Amino acid sequence: VGIAVNTAVVMASLLVFVVDFIAVFVTDIFYDM
């Protein structure tokens, strides 16, 4: 159970990181326009 929970936490952290990166990337494109 501990490993599954740890994997879920890592996946959630990666997901937040990726979404944040995409949001910054899209915002940067809109500002350049």
User: What CA–CA distance (Å, rounded) separates 14 from 11?
Assistant: 5
3-state secondary structure 1-33: CHHHHHHHHHHHHHHHHHHHHHHHHHHHHHHHC
| Amino acid 33: pLDDT | 81
| Amino acid 16: pLDDT | 97
- Residue 10 sits in which domain range? 1-33
| Amino acid 24: pLDDT | 96
| Amino acid 29: pLDDT | 92
Amino acid at 20: D
pTM of this structure: 0.60
Tell me how far apart the 2 most distant CA atoms of the chain are, in Å.
48
**pLDDT, tens digit (0-9, with 9 covering 90-100), for 1-33:** 789 999 999 999 999 999 999 999 999 999 888
Instruction: Say how many domains are in the chain.
Output: 1
* Token reading at 11: 């996946």
